Structure 1
């Protein structure tokens, strides 16, 4: 309840109860703002009391109410005095505020005046600095004009310091103009200093000389050290050193290290001048290294250290690089005999590096690395030389051909199954007829790269990042892939004479078979046990490649053997000895990789590859065996002997496989051509009616001509046995196709059978290719049946085409027809040749039962 309400309630209570206590309404308890309202309320309450209780109040109460009113008026007067006092206080406060604002304004004016004073003082200082800088710049310019470069440098430094103090006002136009003037002065100063430097250190590219002077006559007080100080301060030293390095290279280094034909030069000293002069003879590497040291020592003596150090950092790397590639690498010898000279060069290079290090110049790492890598460098060059010689040989000596002889001696006993008879002469002839040159198998053999065993002795070779055994075999040609057809597999086997031994054995047991004659020159020598030694000789054609390859390999092994000798223990390339034994593998890999391309330009290139690769494999095998025999008496430790370090077995196998693949690829190519030609006969059906008759005759004639052409092409290349075997393999392909297609004809008339017999006889004319003259002038032998496994079957087929049923039955029961045909083949031919009858059925039944 508010105070006003309390007072009103007190008055009401007093009136109601007849008591009028005097309430305490001092100004301390009643807010001044409530007094007027309270007084009004009291007057209203009084009036109300008077009106409402006028009759009930006694006259005794009236003085008390008046007291209340008097007290209220007094209180109102106090309030008025308080208000007046408050107004005075407010007025005084407003006056203080105005005074404070005036004081603040006065303070601002004082601060502004202080800033103005400071600015004026700063402006005066700045203007003084600008004027001082201009005066210093003027003095520097005057010193520059008077060629007093030391004073000009000092004043330039002072001017830069003065201008640096103006960093706070560097964006002003006055300072900008000052900086521009300073930059122009320093640019002119730098140009003049650079010109003086070139006058002190003159590089005459046309005269190929460099002259260093102590001073310039026009400016005697200037020397190189002052020039370097000025260039360093002005930031032009690096540019000058780059230009100086370029001029020295053009004037001295490049002419002296040039290897152009007819340009032989040496360095000459004449006091403070070094120049390049021509000479009649080419200086050796030692003289070149001496000249390099002469030039470097000249610069270290006549140039201050402040020039030599940055110049060496830029000049030496390019100098050593040019020296290494133009001279040092070219002096690496290939021949072992030149090692002493190479050792002298290595010593001189090491000494040159030490001399440069004594000058406290850096960047001699390239020279030191070259000396340390000398064995690797020599080995790389030796390998490049060997591979380059192999490649050059392969592409340049293929036209050089020669006839070589292959000799093989075997001991055969009388009871040996290969002889197959009691007659010694006839048995020898049969054995010789069955002998063949080792021919490659046509079955695909997966060549797995062997994992070389690494021993302590191999560590040296592995250090050269070279594989010990690289037996990579060239990718198989498309013609050597298995076709999956039985006929082609049989043809591939026939290409190498598989089953020829069994064929010969069977033929020798036949009473009606043609007599077989020896196909190679034989020499018979009886032994003490009664056995016979037969020496078989054959000749064939090879190029100059195998002998050349063998010569390269033997030279590499010889070099490795020499380096292994204790006398070469101190040789700089001694550590490369063990790695040399891997080079033959690389040479042979190079041969296998490039032979197909090189031989592909020749007629019958694959057959030449077969001969060359086979001969090379034989030569390497013989060389390895001889080396092993030689090492048996060597005094070297076992792990240092060449025979223990050479690992050529896998390479020999790879060569043999390579030869087989080349032969197989050629045979498959020729078979494909022959089959395509024979396809022109269209299965020999209706061969007696045009136009089929002409097509059949043409196909057979073309195929026969192709066989003769290929035989003629191979005759000067292959040995006699390989020639007969290869030609017979192609003939066997032709005969197999003709037999198969004739047997597939369902109905063969009389005229058609005669025509087919004529075609068979036409194809049989190629037997003259297999006639072998007797070495002693005896009767010639027909070797067709020996080399062509289906020759007799084809002959029987020709006879069957014009035979009667009785003849066919007799040949089956009493002759040798069943040796070539099976019962189903014969019955199918009978059904195709003869019409159905009781006699045919009876003949077929007899054939099936027998």
Structure 2
């Protein structure tokens, strides 16, 4: 059945297809004779038409048809002739009796049989000849093994093995060859064992002696074998293993052991029980008390001389240079790692004796490692000795820094002792800090026996002070004798009265004893009071038509003026940890030690030295300061979250900067050291200022978070909202008092008032900003806000030293007057506000701030409009 054509393809319908289509579509009822006759007639007609077309086509081109017809007949005749010839040729070739192909094949088969017989005879002859030769070699090898002649036996093994490898192909899988190979393996193993046994008898290494026998007698041998023949005959893998073990034992028992414990070596020649000559290198422990410090190098020389004379000449050519060269690296490493580096002294006095040993090590490297062992190395020992000054200084630097690190870590494990330092503020006074320590002894035990960082390099007290580091110590001792020792605690408790949560009473000036000057300043406030001008302040709320009653208060004429305690006094004291004193003492020791090394001249003769002696040790002084700056904030991170400890760390850095400045002044060393110390001084001062500012910023953040809970001081007419705001203000007061309580015994007076003023200022600014941002303040809320503002008035007591005088809060809190006027303006009338504006009392307020405040406090009336016009005209000029 043909496949149906797709609908989109063209169709060529013939008569048979039409007839079949009709049959396909006809039904059983319509199928009759007439339908069959019509179909037959249609087919006949189609056949007739086809014949007619063929006849017409032939008639149309009769000549071509005749030509093609004759060609076809000719081809048929020729095809018949060719078929006859092929049949005849096939019989001639393939006939079973007389055909060419059967005869040729029979001849070839006879020739192949003859050739195979000839080849088999040749292969058999070659195989028998090769087997005969292998058998002869095997018999000769067996004879050599039986007589103990091992070196020729090794050669015979190799020859027989080569013969077995090159056997003819037919013999590769023959059982006779397998048997010969098995016997060869047995004999080879026997020879290898005998040679290994001869090696172990010739070269004996143990912790007590090295024995080398020039000749060795093996079993069944007629004469002793030379050691060189044994080493040359033994297999390369076995020899490499034996030499590796020999190298390890020599290095362990005779090179490295000489550096680890006192050892003596002896070289002797004797005979064993069989009468064989042997050379012995004996080792035995020596007394530690009588041992020479250079004996390890002598032992190395003795060992190498013994090996060079007795062992190296017997080595085969493949190992004659490689084995001695393999000892060079290990010997150099042992000299460095076991003698020079561990023996590098930590005291300057021991350096000359050590340098003598170092020069002996260089001589050993030149004579033995480079000369005898023929090691084209980088001369590691000489390179290290040439830089021994650098190595010594790096070791001392490492010890100094490790000591400093332990000092810092130990200071965290217990409460840090402190002392008061005096900060000079007078312009004509020298810029230096005097010390008033809490006790005369060293709290860290740095002066104890065995505890000093550089006890050996410290000079006696009566020696000349070439550095001038102790110039200020005499002044310090005099001040200690003149003043009684005063121990200061970090937390003085409630001595300041700041732990009370109640507001300061109006009779603040009566408690004069409570506010005695803690810094012991001599000048009183009245002696240096800055110039002031007076401005009016409302003392009560007058009626709308009455003149406002006023009183006079002081305002500084210069906004940059500060309390006279920071400008008129000579010194201010501040608390410093004794750890800082220990750090600066370590720096002084490092500088002194570096100068002593530089002036000693021990390394002045080194032509290859790349650095000036003493520089690295002197530079370690600056590294001590860098280590303190890097390590202390990490290990004391838990402490530095407290306000007092933050400021104490700032004081430490400030005091260290002052002391480093003193060292720079007295520095007589290298310029690079002075530059580094000056850089450390600058960095320490920056660090002190940064931590001081960070302590203030932390309190600012805390106060800002507290004031954020007041939610802008809006809706204070609601009692709950008022209580929340009052609680926030009270928390601010307590937080400021707590910070001031922690800072006052630590900071100098100027820094203390600046820090407290900064946190008070940020609180006032935040409250001012929130209140001035309220668009509408009813009368009830204005009273509430005024009451809230007056709570902060208690902070003025933080800026009073003499209660008979006025406070100096305005000098440190620029917004204090503005905040005070805000509490008055919240309850003032329009007339009071206008009066204060005209008198210039409200100059701290901006014009836009006053306009917003007036619109928030007062209703829209002609009087408010007139007042606003006056305010928008600007502050009065006076």
What TM-score comes out, normalization by structure 2 length? 0.63
1:245 aligned partner:
247
1:671-702 Cα offsets, whole Å, 9 max, x none, are 11110011111111122423212211211111
Q: Indicate yes or no: 2:395 matched with 1:381.
A: yes
Q: Tell whether the 8 Å contact from 2:227 to 2:314 is kept in structure 1 after alignment.
A: no
Q: Does 1:140 align with 2:144?
A: yes
1:612 & 1:284 partners in 2: Cα distance?
A: 50
Following superposition of structure 1 onto structure 2, how do residues 509-658 of structure 1 map, counting pairs within 5 Å?
A: 509-511=532-534, 512-513=553-554, 518-520=564-566, 535-545=570-580, 548-549=583-584, 551-552=586-587, 555-556=590-591, 559=594, 562-563=597-598, 568-571=603-606, 574-577=609-612, 580=616, 583=620, 586-602=623-639, 603-604=642-643, 605-627=645-667, 630=668, 641-642=670-671, 646-658=675-687
RMSD: 4.0
Residue 31 (structure 2) aligns with? none
Separation in 2, partners of 1:845, 1:108: 140
Is 1:401 aligned with 2:418? yes
SS in 2 for 1:406: strand
Q: What does the per-residue CA deviation read over 1:86-144, in whole Å, with 9 as the maximum and x for residues that have no partner?
A: xxxxxxxx9xxxx999999999999777756654542342122121122022113313x
Instruction: Give the match for residue 665 of structure 1.
Output: 694
Runs of 5+ unmatched residues, structure 1: 1-93, 259-263, 413-504, 524-534, 632-640
Question: Contact conserved, 2:654 with 2:684, CA < 8 A, in 1?
Answer: yes
Q: Using a 3 Å threshold, how does the CA distance of structure 1 residues 338 and 601 change in structure 2: closer, same or farther?
A: farther
Count of aligned residue pairs for this structure pair: 622
In structure 2, the residue matched to 1:800 is 825
Q: How does 1:303-342 map to 2 (within 5 A)?
A: 303-307=311-315, 309-342=321-354
Q: Is the 8 A contact 2:778 2:857 kept in 1?
A: yes
2:853 paired residue number: 829
Paired with 2:863 and 2:363, the residues of 1 have a C-alpha distance of: 109
Task: Identify if the C-alpha distance between structure 1 residues 401 and 225 changes in structure 2 by more than 3 Å, giving closer, same or farther.
Answer: farther
Q: Report the 3-state secondary structure (helix = DSSP H, G, I; strand = E; otherwise coil) of the residue aligned with 1:194.
A: helix
Structure 1 residue 642 displacement after superposition: 3.6
- Give the whole-Å Cα distance in 1 for the aligned partners of 2:118 and 2:211: 66
Match in the other structure for 2:841: 817
SS at match of 1:820: coil
In the alignment, the residues of structure 2 paired with residue 396 and residue 363 of structure 1 have an alpha-carbon distance, to the nearest angstrom, of 50
SS at match of 1:721: helix
Q: Is 1:704 paired with 2:733?
A: yes
3-state SS of paired residue (2:774): coil
Flag the 1:274–1:765 CA change in 2: closer, same or farther, 3 A.
farther
Equivalent residues in 2 for 1:670-749, closer than 5 Å: 670-749=699-778
SS at 2:575's partner residue? Answer: strand
**How much has 1:708 moved relative to structure 2?**
1.7
Question: Once the 2 structures are TM-superposed, how far is the Cα of residue 281 of structure 1 from its aligned partner?
Answer: 6.2
Instruction: Report the alpha carbon displacement of residue 570 of structure 1 after superposing the two structures with TM.
Output: 0.6
CA contact 1:208–1:276 (8 Å) conserved in 2: yes
Structure 2 contact 420–573 (Cα < 8 Å) conserved: no
* 8 Å contact kept, 2:157–2:188: no
1:177-576 to 2 correspondences below 5 Å? 177-204=179-206, 210-212=210-212, 221-222=224-225, 224-231=227-234, 233=235, 235-258=237-260, 264-269=261-266, 271=268, 272-275=280-283, 277=285, 286-307=294-315, 309-356=321-368, 357-362=370-375, 365-397=379-411, 399-411=416-428, 508-511=531-534, 512-513=553-554, 518-520=564-566, 535-545=570-580, 548-549=583-584, 551-552=586-587, 555-556=590-591, 559=594, 562-563=597-598, 568-571=603-606, 574-576=609-611
Match of 2:463 in 1: none
Show the counterpart of 1:84.
Answer: none
CA distance in 2, matches of 1:197, 1:695: 99
Deviations 1:286-318 (A, max 9, x none): 333333333333433443434585543333323
Aligned equivalent of 2:3: none
Moved more, 722-731 or 164-173: 164-173
**Which residue of the partner structure matches residue 799 of structure 2?**
770
Change (3 A) 1:837 1:730: same
Q: Secondary structure at the match of 2:716?
A: coil
Deviates more, 1:596-605 or 1:793-802: 596-605
The CA deviation at 1:797 is 1.5
* Max Rg structure: 1
Distance in 2 between residues matched to 1:334 and 1:781, nearest whole Å: 63
> How far apart, CA to CA, are the structure 2 residues paired with 1:268 and 1:752?
104
State which drifts further: 642-651 or 764-773.
Answer: 642-651
**TM-score, with structure 1 as normaliser:** 0.65
Aligned residue in 1 for 2:75: none
